[in-house]
C-alpha cells in the first residue's frame, strides 16, 4: 500500500485495489446466533457459512483473487500429463525461488505428509521455531517428535520485539549436540508463525539457523505458507533489508534453505501447494509419493485452473503494494482494540488479529478452553467467526492428560482483499461490547472429542447457561440491533 497522508491527520490503511465482484452477506439475529453455535457444538468450524456475517476463521483459501488471476484461469491446459499449465507454474517457481525441482500437491498439509513420510523415522526430533497443528501430527504419526525453539519473546503476548518468530539459535545448537545430527531429519522454519500470532522471523535469524544446520549437515525446510507477511515485515522492520526489493529478500531466503513447501491457499491467493528443492536425490525420494497420495506429477491433486491462478498469485506476492494490505489492516485493528484497552497480541503480526484469551477471560481455566469459549462468545456477540488457537488446538498427552497451550488466542483472520474498513470497525465494536461483558462468558467441555486434530470437528457444550445470559445482556444493551 502506498503511504498517503490525509489532510485532517487521520491515519488509515488505503486500499490499492477496487472491488469489482461482491458477495451478499447475512447477519442472523442474536437468538439465531445462540441456536446456530449450539447446533455447531460450540465449534466455529462446524458453523454453516450462511449463518456467518464476517468469516474470520482463516486466511486459507478464502483470499480474494485478482482480475489477472481470474483471467489466467481461462487459459488452463487440462492435459493429464505434460500440461502447459504445469510448465508455467514450474517456471514461475524457479524464477522466484531459484529451485530446480518442484512437486505439486493439493495443499500445505499434503506437502507435510510427503516430507514426514520421506524423511522422519521413529525416534527422530524435528526442531522448529514453533509448531503448526498438521505439521506436528504428520511428524508424530511417523514416530518423531517436535521441539519448539522460538525465542522467549515469542511467547510474551505484549511485546515490541519486531521478530517474535525468531529461532533461539543457542537452544538449537544445544539440541543438536544433545540428540545428534543423525536423529534430526530436518529443521523447520515457519514464516509468520501461525500459532503465536502470525509473528515473523528476520532474514538474519534465518541465516544464523541455516548456517548452523549446514555446519552439522542437517537439512533446512522453510514452510512458506505465510511467507508474504514475513517478507513485508522483513522489508519494514529489518534495517539491513529496507533497501532490498521483495524479490531480492525472497531469493536471499530461498538460497539459504534446502527445501521450501507452501500452501497456496495462503501464499498465491489460490488453492493448492507444492514442494521446491534444488537437490535431485531428494526430489526422487519424494516423487513417488505424488502419484500415490496426490495425483500425477503435473497437477498433484490441484485443478489446473487453480494452478494458473497460483502462478499469477506468486508473481503478485512479490508486489509490496499487494502484500502490505493484510498486515496494515491487521495493524489498524490491533491499534483500535489497544485504544479500548482490549488485550491483543503485539506487535501486530500477519494472518489476523489475535485476542489474548488468557487476559480477556482470565476467570476461565485452561481446562475449560478459554480461547474456544471466547470464539463461541464472539460469534454470539456479532456473527463473527474466529478460530481457537489454544489448548483445544493441542493434542492430548499419551496418558490422556491435557497439554495446555503456551498461549490462549482467538484468531480473527483478515483474508487478503476481502473485508472493508467498516466491516473491521464493526468487528472492533462487537469485541469492545464483549470485553465490557466478559464476566458473563463461561467455559466449554468436550462432548465429542476426536483423538487427532480435535479442534476441526470436535463438539463441545457450555459448562453453564452463560450463552443465554450473554444474549439477554446484548438485547438489554443494543435493543433490536442485529
> Annotated active-site positions, please?
80, 132-133, 223, 266, 389, 455
Exposure b/e, 48-67, CB count within 10 A at least 16 = b: eeebbbbbbbbbbbbbbbbe
**Angle subtended by helix axes 246-256 and 203-216, to nearest 10:** 20
Of 123, 198, 128, 132, the residue nearest 167 (C-alpha)? 128
Cis peptide before 320 (omega within 30 of 0): no
Measure the CA–CA gap between 193 and 178, rounded to whole angstroms. 25
Q: Which residues contact 56 (CB under 8 A, 6 or more apart)?
A: 352, 384, 385, 386, 387, 411, 412, 413, 414, 427
Q: Which helix (H) or strand (E) holds 275?
A: strand 273-277
User: Quick one: DSSP state of residue 194?
Assistant: G
Q: Is 83 helix (H, G, I), strand (E, B) or coil?
A: coil
User: Quick one: DSSP state of residue 350?
Assistant: S
**Angle subtended by helix axes 421-436 and 370-382, to nearest 10:** 120
Half-sphere exposure of 226 toward its Cβ, with a 13 Å CA cutoff? 31
Say if CB 334 and CB 348 are below 8 A apart: yes
| Angle value at C-alpha 57, between 474 and 425, nearest 5 degrees | 50
Amino acid at each position: 500500500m502506498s503511504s498517503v497522508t490525509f489532510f485532517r491527520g487521520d491515519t488509515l490503511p488505503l486500499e490499492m485495489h477496487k472491488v469489482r465482484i461482491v458477495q451478499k452477506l447475512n447477519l442472523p439475529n442474536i437468538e439465531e446466533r445462540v441456536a446456530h453455535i449450539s447446533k455447531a457444538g460450540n465449534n466455529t468450524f462446524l458453523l454453516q457459512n450462511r449463518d456467518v456475517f464476517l468469516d474470520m476463521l482463516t486466511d486459507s483459501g478464502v483470499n480474494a483473487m485478482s482480475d489477472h488471476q481470474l483471467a489466467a484461469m481461462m487459459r488452463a491446459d487440462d492435459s493429464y500429463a505434460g500440461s502447459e499449465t504445469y510448465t508455467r507454474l514450474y517456471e514461475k517457481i524457479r524464477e522466484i525461488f531459484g529451485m530446480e525441482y518442484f512437486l505439486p500437491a493439493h495443499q500445505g498439509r499434503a506437502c507435510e505428509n510427503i516430507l514426514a513420510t520421506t524423511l522422519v523415522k521413529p525416534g527422530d526430533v524435528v526442531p522448529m521455531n514453533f509448531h503448526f497443528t498438521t505439521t506436528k501430527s504428520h511428524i508424530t504419526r511417523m514416530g518423531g517428535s517436535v521441539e519448539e525453539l522460538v525465542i522467549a519473546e515469542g511467547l510474551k503476548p505484549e511485546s515490541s520485539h519486531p521478530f517474535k518468530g525468531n529461532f533461539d539459535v543457542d537452544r538449537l545448537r544445544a539440541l543438536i549436540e544433545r540428540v545428534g545430527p543423525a536423529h534430526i531429519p530436518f529443521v523447520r522454519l515457519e514464516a509468520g508463525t501461525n500459532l503465536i500470532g502470525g509473528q515473523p522471523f528476520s532474514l538474519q535469524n534465518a541465516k544464523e539457523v541455516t548456517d548452523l544446520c549446514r555446519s552439522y549437515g542437517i537439512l533446512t525446510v522453510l514452510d512458506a505458507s505465510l511467507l508474504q507477511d514475513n517478507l513485508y515485515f522483513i522489508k519494514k522492520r529489518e534495517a539491513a533489508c529496507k533497501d532490498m526489493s521483495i524479490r531480492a529478500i525472497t531469493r536471499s531466503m530461498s538460497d539459504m534453505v534446502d527445501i521450501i513447501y507452501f500452501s497456496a491457499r495462503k501464499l498465491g491467493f489460490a488453492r493448492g501447494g507444492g514442494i521446491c528443492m534444488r537437490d535431485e536425490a531428494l526430489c526422487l525420494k519424494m516423487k513417488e509419493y505424488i502419484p500415490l497420495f496426490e495425483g500425477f506429477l503435473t497437477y498433484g491433486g490441484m485443478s489446473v485452473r487453480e494452478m494458473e491462478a497460483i502462478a499469477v498469485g506468486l508473481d503478485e506476492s512479490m508486489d509490496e503494494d499487494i502484500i502490505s494490505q493484510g498486515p496494515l489492516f491487521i495493524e489498524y485493528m490491533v491499534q483500535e482494540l489497544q485504544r479500548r484497552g482490549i488485550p491483543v497480541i503485539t506487535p501486530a503480526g500477519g494472518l489476523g488479529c489475535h485476542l489474548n484469551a488468557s487476559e480477556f477471560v482470565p476467570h476461565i481455566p485452561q481446562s475449560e478452553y478459554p480461547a474456544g469459549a471466547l470464539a463461541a462468545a464472539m460469534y454470539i456477540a456479532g456473527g463473527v467467526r474466529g478460530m481457537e488457537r489454544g489448548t483445544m488446538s493441542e493434542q492430548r498427552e499419551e496418558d490422556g492428560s491435557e497439554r495446555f497451550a503456551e498461549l490462549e488466542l482467538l484468531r480473527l483472520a483478515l483474508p487478503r482483499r476481502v473485508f472493508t474498513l467498516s466491516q473491521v470497525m464493526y468487528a472492533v465494536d462487537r469485541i469492545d461490547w464483549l470485553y465490557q461483558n466478559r464476566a458473563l462468558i463461561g467455559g466449554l467441555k468436550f462432548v465429542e472429542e476426536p483423538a487427532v486434530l480435535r479442534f476441526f470437528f470436535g463438539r463441545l457444550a457450555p459448562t453453564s447457561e452463560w450463552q443465554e445470559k450473554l444474549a439477554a445482556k446484548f438485547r438489554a444493551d443494543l435493543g433490536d440491533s442485529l
